[in-house]
């Protein structure tokens, strides 16, 4: 990304910072939280604990694991978290000094036989390792993370942004479809007991 693109990208981050007052239940006691205190920024290896991110991923993906979908993020080690973060451009959402969400943007994919062919197209970026902590879900934070990555891909001049999920998790497939992602192809990850679908969204110019 050139300097000018980076500057406009920082302003995209500012625009996407979440504002408003929301209610959340913690320990069964409703609390009013100021969501403007949520920040989304690039992952920082000094500030952001890999153990904390890994733990948040485990908690977020636990429900999918219980349903029988063995997503890597449900059980991965911190070493795997780091590997998946640093293979792309990772973001973290933070609130009250805690990591409450993450997403990693991958502008390119390695020419690896395990990778979906669609991800290898130079006009296509993708995202992964995407989660919001269970207690902070359903407040628009996931949507903001996706919007941020879409803006990043647009600034990179990508035509499409893609992602993948288990074809059997219909609520996730619908979640992406409601955001303009369309079915492209099927894919088998070697580790997975399920078949994945690749979804992609055509991005407009920035
Ligand atoms: C998928 C995931 C990241 C979505 O995160 P999220 O923060 O809950 O997502 P959002 O809040 O943006 O949207 C979820 C739903 O909450 C509701 N919602 C969104 N904003 C809201 C708000 N401000 N107030 C109340 N409800 C809201 C909406 O119903 C929304 O769904 P819809 O817009 O498609 O109808 C999260 O559910 C998660 O971590 N899941 C486990 C891990 C996972 O599945 N990762 C992806 C694997 S492919």
Q: Where do the structural domains in the chain lie, given as residue ranges?
A: 3-158
pLDDT above 70 for 118 = yes
Instruction: State the Cα–Cα distance between residues 36 and 22, nearest whole angstrom.
Output: 10
Q: How many CB atoms lie within 10 A of CB 206?
A: 15
Q: How far is the CA of 129 from the centre of ligand 1 (A)?
A: 15
Average pLDDT (192-198) is: 98
**Whole-number pLDDT of residue 35:** 72
How many Å is the Cα radius of gyration of the chain?
Answer: 17
Q: Which atom of ligand 1 is nearest to the CA of 71?
A: 47
The CATH architecture to which 3-158 belongs is 3-Layer(aba) Sandwich (3.40)
Separation of 134 CA from ligand 1 center, angstroms?
Answer: 10
Q: Read off the pTM.
A: 0.89
The residue contributing the CA closest to ligand 1 atom 31 is 175
Site to probe by mutation for ligand 1, drawn from 56, 66, 133, 139 as the one with most ligand atoms within 8 Å of Cβ, is: 139
Distance CA 206, CA 201 (A): 14
Percentage of the residues of the chain whose pLDDT score is greater than 70: 83
User: 106-113 contacts: CB < 8 A, separation 24 or more?
Assistant: 107/153, 107/156, 107/158
**Beta strands 98-106 and 196-202: pairing type?**
unpaired
Q: Could you report the per-residue pLDDT of 7-58, keeping only the tens digit for each?
A: 445 444 444 444 444 444 444 444 556 678 899 999 999 999 999 999 999 9
Q: How far is the CA of 139 from the centre of ligand 1 (A)?
A: 7
Best residue among 143, 146, 169, 179 to mutate for probing ligand 1's pocket (most ligand atoms within 8 Å of CB) is 143
Binding pocket residue ranges, ligand 1, CB within 6 Å: 60-61, 64, 130-132, 137-143, 165, 172, 175, 178
The residue-averaged pLDDT of 174-180 equals: 98
Indicate the range of 35-44, 126-135, 155-164, 182-191 predicted with least confidence: 35-44
């Amino acid at each position: 990304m050139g300097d000018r693109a980076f500057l406009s990208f920082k302003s995209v981050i500012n625009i996407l910072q979440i504002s408003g007052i929301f209610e959340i239940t913690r320990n069964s006691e409703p609390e009013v939280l100021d969501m403007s205190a949520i920040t989304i920024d690039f992952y920082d290896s000094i500030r952001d604990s890999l153990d904390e991110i890994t733990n948040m991923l485990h908690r977020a993906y636990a429900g999918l694991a219980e349903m029988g979908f063995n997503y890597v993020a449900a059980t991965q080690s911190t070493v795997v978290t780091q590997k998946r973060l640093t293979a792309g451009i990772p973001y973290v959402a933070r609130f009250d000094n805690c990591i409450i969400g993450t997403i990693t943007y991958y502008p390119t994919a390695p020419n690896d036989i395990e990778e979906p062919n669609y991800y290898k197209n130079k006009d296509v970026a993708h995202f992964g390792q995407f989660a919001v902590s269970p207690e902070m879900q359903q407040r628009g934070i996931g949507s903001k993370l996706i919007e941020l990555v879409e803006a990043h891909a647009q600034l990179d001049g990508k035509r499409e942004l893609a992602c993948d999920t288990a074809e059997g998790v219909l609520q996730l497939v619908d979640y992406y479809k409601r955001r303009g992602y369309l079915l492209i192809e099927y894919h088998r990850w070697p580790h997975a007991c399920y078949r994945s679908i690749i979804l992609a969204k055509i991005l407009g110019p920035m």
